[in-house]
Every structure is written in structure tokens, then in C-alpha cells.
Structure 1
Amino acid sequence: MPQLGKPSGPLTPDEAAALLAFYVEAGVTEALAEEAADRYQLANQNAAPEAERGAPQRTQAAEPRRAPVGQMEAPAPLRTQPPTTIPLEDKEAVSNARALAASCQTLDELKAALANFEGCALRYTAKNLVFADGNPEARIMLVGEAPGKDEDQEGLPFVGRSGQLLDRMLASIGLDRTQVYIANTLPWRPPGNRAPTPAEQAICAPFIERQIELSKAEILVLVGGVSAKQLLGTDTGIMRLRGRWSSYATPAREIPALPIFHPAYLLRQPAQKRLAWHDLISLKMRIDSLPPRD
């Protein structure tokens, strides 16, 4: 039985492209030799003086594997690789992100700045920038965690199964996407849907903070534990945060904030929809209490 992911014979161009796409979706970002190399031996050889070791020796394990005659060479990578100077050192990248975000005076400027920002390596493994969806003039803003596969494909937040459930949740209290503004704490999908690293969160934080500041939001809904903990500056888990109104401070105003379960969690734990319904009722009551806009 052939090993998983290892072809048993020569591949056609279409098969090779499909296999490469599968590896990319699984989060594989480095191409490695098929045979293991003894790095300690190679390091010792490199450390020895040139006169002592004579002509450089190459082990069979370190020899690049060449395709047999008639077999197609591996196709070029599907995505552009990041420049050697990217990603920047974390502290420098955070500083650059903060300055860039602060310079943006509109949401359109912020989106354009993010599209050209090279300080976060996630942009090189994602297909699309996922900036926002819905109505930027809306009084309610939802902030999720990070794009998934479907969101990465379409460049919009909450469009997969989780997004469909979110739409039904909003509809249950009389809302749709024309009445809310939706964004994520991270605008790019982490490879393989892995959890974002603290460095990635720190680099992207100035952009979502500025996005909230530039929005017309009068109520924030923090969708999921990652979003709630980051924007509220707490280590408390979502089970304790959900349903409890808090406050998010921008330089100009305080915005009431309600953490709720992420729809992806509700798909895995449907029994928790009872609690989610209580949170939606609380949200509906707060919306109804908003004064009319001038």
C-alpha cells in the first residue's frame, strides 16, 4: 500500500498540480528532500578546515533527487515566495503596522494599506486578503477570529458553514448583512487553519483596532474566544466571557461589546445554541435601546 501523499508512480501534469494544491491547503510551506539528510554530519564537514577535508564530499542523502528520464519535473510553486527580508523582526513589524494603520483616515485607505503591507508572513500563504463584509455605516460591528478556507477563497469573512449559521443567527433577531459590518482580527488565513501565533496577532492588531475606530459601530459583537480575549485584553475563556457586556475603548469613544460563541463552535457543540440564543436576545435588547441616528 503506498504511503499517504506519496505518489506510487509518475504523475501527469494535472495530477502534480492537484497534489501541490493539496499540500498548500494542508499548510505545507517548505519543499524537502525525499531522503533524510544527516545535518550533524554536514555541519561537521563544513566546520572542518578546507585543507583537512580536501574536496567537498556529498552524501547520498544530501544529493538532490532528479526525476527519471521521461518523468515530469516538479512544477513551480503556486504562490510567490516572500522576499528574503520578510517577515520583519516582530517588534519592527508591529511598529510599522501601528504607524501605517494610524495614517489611514478611511476604511478604503486601511484596506489598501493592508493589501500592500509586507510585515506579516501570513499574506504569502493566503490566497486573498479578507478585509470586511457588510455595511461599513452599520451600527453593529462583528469581529471574528481568522479566515478559514472558504473565506480565503472568496476574500470575504464568514462565507462557509460558520458564515451560514451566523447569517441564521442574525436573521433570528431581524438582522442581515446589510445591517452589520463584519471583520476579523486577522485579515489572512493561517496555513492549514492553525491557530495564529502571538506575533501574528500583535502585527495585525493595529489594523483591526483602526478598523473599529474608523467604523460607525455603536455596538461590538466579539465572535469567538480569540477575538474576545484580544480586543478585551483578557485571558478569560469564552465560556465565562460570553453573554457578558463589556466595553471596548477607542481613542474617541467607548463601544459596548458583547462576546458570543463562534458559529464553528456551535456546529461542533449544538447543545450550546441555547446559551447562544440568550446572548442574541441580549444583543437585540441593546440594539433596540439605541437612540435614533440624526
Structure 2
Amino acid sequence: MFAPPPPPRIVPASAASSLGTPPPFTLPEGDKAARWNALRDIVLNDATCQARVYAGKKVVFGVGHLDATVMFIGEAPGADEEEQGEPFVGRAGQLLNRMIKAMGLERSQVYIGNILNWRPEMGARSPDGFQTGNRPPTLDEMAYCLPFIRAQIDIIQPRVLVALGKTAVDGLLGADRFKTMGAARGSWHAYNGIPLRATYHPSYLLRQEGLRSEAALKIKRDAWEDLLAVMEKAGMPISDKQRGYFKTG
């Protein structure tokens, strides 16, 4: 049975009201596919998740290989994700696909999930459901959905977890553990005994595109160093080209 996580110690002022306690659930006995399909049905039909999805949009559940060695976890769906019901399918998802490809893998060989299963509402939308911009999930929202991503991790049992961005770090390791993303990345952590590497969210990396400052280049180098560390921990081969990707003559 997957019980809800303990309540966060600090709830942001933006969390106007509690979502309540997520109902505990028990997955059936059986293989990974049977358990994953049961969990997917639970999440997609969860009344609280459905109540926070705008008309015509979708609750978003994880996708990928059920025997994946590497599992990526982001924060919350955006506009493209709530349209398709799949995580990381917009511009950030395209960059993540390129990052996965640079590691020598295909998207279909990894597993990708999110801390939150719906797009956080920023206010009233237009009649067609259009919303400009995204916001990070509140701790209250994360607390509701954490049992769902924890259950996915339990099913997949990856060799390595990759937390993409501060929200994923807060959800998996605790909201009061790291003050900044910089403090979380660059070293190994553990989630229930699984090695976890924190790195920058692809949307943050996109904001560095076209910038030639040393700070922007360092962010890109650091993100690639994190992925090299993930490859090494996962026992993947690393070529000289991959190791020297950001080295200059």
C-alpha cells in the first residue's frame, strides 16, 4: 500500500487551500506491466487530479520502458504536456530527447515522469483553455501527487534516478534539504537506496541558448557532467567524444 507522504513543514502562501489527503492505494500482484497499468488507471481517474485539469486537457502520467536503467523525473506538465497527456513533449522535452540521445540512448529506453500530474493553474484561462506561462507546484500540490511518482519508481526500479530541476529535488529528497539547485547538483544522493543525481531542468537550459557568457556555458557544462556521471553510475559505455564534448583546445 502506498500511503501519502508526511505533510510538508512549510506551505507557501500561494497554496490557498489544502488538497486533502491522497487516498492510499494497493497495486495488484503481478508483473511490472500489470502493476503499471493499474497505477496509470488510478492516476488518470483520480478525482482530485481530474478536478484540476481544464476542460479538454489531460492528466499526465509517466511514459517509457518499464525496465529502464535510467529514470528522469521533472516537475509538472506544461501546455503541450496537458494537451497530449505525456510528460516532456514540448520544447523542453525536445531538448531532453537530445540529451538522452547524446547519452547513447533513445527516449523509448528510459522512463520519464513528473512530480505533479496536472498543469498548475496560474489563474483564469480563456474559454479555449489557453494559459500563458507556467508556475512551479506548491508543496501542497506535490504532497498530493508524490505517492504516484513514488509508486512508479517502485515499479520501474531504475538503476539511477535523475531529478530534473529544484522541484523534483524537493519532491524526492525533501523541500528543506537544499536551498538552491546549485547546492543539490554535482554530487550523488539517494532515494530509497537508488542513486539520485540532480541536474538542471531542460527549460532552464533552454534559457541559456544563444548566451555566450561564461556563466551560461558553465551551466551547460555542468549539466553534461551530471549526465556523464549518470552514465558511469548506470554502467553505460562512455566514448572519448562524449567525455570531451565541452573541452576546448
Same fold (TM over 0.5): yes
SS of residue paired to 1:142: strand
Q: Name the CA distance, whole Å, in 1 between partners of 2:208 and 2:182.
A: 13
SS of residue paired to 1:220: strand
Q: Is the Cα–Cα contact under 8 Å of residues 126 and 190 in structure 1 kept in the other structure?
A: no
Q: Map of 1:21-60 to 2, 5 A cutoff?
A: none
Q: Which has the larger radius of gyration?
A: 1
Q: Deviations over 1:103-145 (max 9, x none)?
A: 4551110110111111344235671121122212211111110
Q: TM-score, normalised by structure 1?
A: 0.61
- Structure 1 residue 197 displacement after superposition: 2.2
Q: Is the Cα–Cα contact under 8 Å of residues 68 and 109 in structure 2 kept in the other structure?
A: yes
1:185 equivalent among 101, 115, 127: 115
Q: Is the Cα–Cα contact under 8 Å of residues 126 and 189 in structure 1 kept in the other structure?
A: no
Q: Does 1:196 align with 2:196?
A: no
Q: Deviations over 1:147-202 (max 9, x none)?
A: 11111111111111111111111111201112200010111111242222222111
Aligned to 1:214: 155
Point out where structure 2 has 5 or more consecutive residues left out of the alignment: 1-16, 30-34, 122-130, 210-215, 238-249
1:283 equivalent among 208, 217, 230: 230
RMSD: 2.1
**Structure with more of its chain in helix, by fraction:** 1
Runs of 4 or more off by more than 6 Å in structure 1? none
Q: Name the CA distance, whole Å, in 2 between partners of 1:124 and 1:89.
A: 19
Q: Name the CA distance, whole Å, in 2 between partners of 1:109 and 1:186.
A: 18
Aligned to 2:40: 111
Aligned to 1:36: none
Q: TM-score, normalised by structure 2?
A: 0.72
Q: Does 1:240 align with 2:187?
A: no
Higher relative contact order (CA 8 A, sep 6+): 2
Letter in 1 for 2:44: A
Between the two proteins, the alignment pairs up a number of residues equal to 194
Aligned to 2:73: 143
Q: Deviations over 1:238-260 (max 9, x none)?
A: 111112111001xxxx1111111
1:197–1:269 distance in 2 versus 1, CA, 3 Å: same
1:117–1:135 distance in 2 versus 1, CA, 3 Å: same
Q: Name the CA distance, whole Å, in 2 between partners of 1:129 and 1:104.
A: 22
Q: Name the CA distance, whole Å, in 1 between partners of 2:149 and 2:55.
A: 20
SS of residue paired to 2:111: strand
Q: Does 1:173 align with 2:73?
A: no
Q: Does 1:227 align with 2:157?
A: no
1:277–1:289 distance in 2 versus 1, CA, 3 Å: closer
1:269 equivalent among 176, 201, 208: 208
Q: Is the Cα–Cα contact under 8 Å of residues 104 and 110 in structure 1 kept in the other structure?
A: no
